[in-house]
Amino acid sequence: MGKKQEIAIGIALQTQVLKTCPIHNQLYRDDEAPADDENMARAFGVAIELVHRYKPYAEEFNHDAHQLTDLLSQTLGAAPVSCPDCLAQRYSVKEQSGKRASAGP
Ligand SMILES: [Zn+2]
């Protein structure tokens, strides 16, 4: 993972646009959160502020906040809507209960 990507993910986590599964440590987007758009706007605000105000970020992104906001939206677009491992687990549980139901008493 590149440093720029790390910064983008850091912002996303800080503004809670991206979350980390506590069980599998996987990044995902929480689409069910009602304040999602608000968080997203906040994430872009933080990104722009970092590049404008702080030298290390400015240097990393060549004083161009758009580079960071673009990367941020790419990162968000690439993230799954829920933890893929949790989803896989949920499906396998469903399958098992289905088999049990069809076996019947
Ligand atoms: Zn998980």
Is residue 30 very low, low, confident or very high in pLDDT (cuts 50, 70, 90)? confident
CA 7 to ligand 1 centroid distance, Å:
23
Decide if pLDDT at 49 tops 90: yes
Beta-carbon neighbours within 5 Å of ion ligand 1: 21, 23-24, 83, 85-86
Within 13 Å of residue 80, how many CA atoms lie on the same side as its CB? 11
**Residue extents of the structural domains in the chain:** 3-103
CA distance readout (Å), 14 to 19, 21, 40, 100: 9, 15, 11, 43
CA 30 to ligand 1 centroid distance, Å:
12
CA distance readout (Å), 26 to 72, 79, 87: 17, 10, 12
Neighbours of 104 (CB within 10 A): 5
CA separation for the pair 51, 59 (Å, rounded): 8
Decide if pLDDT at 100 tops 60: no
What is the chain's mean pLDDT, rounded?
87
Read off the pLDDT of residues 65-80 as tens digits, 9 standing for 90 and up: 999 999 999 999 999 9
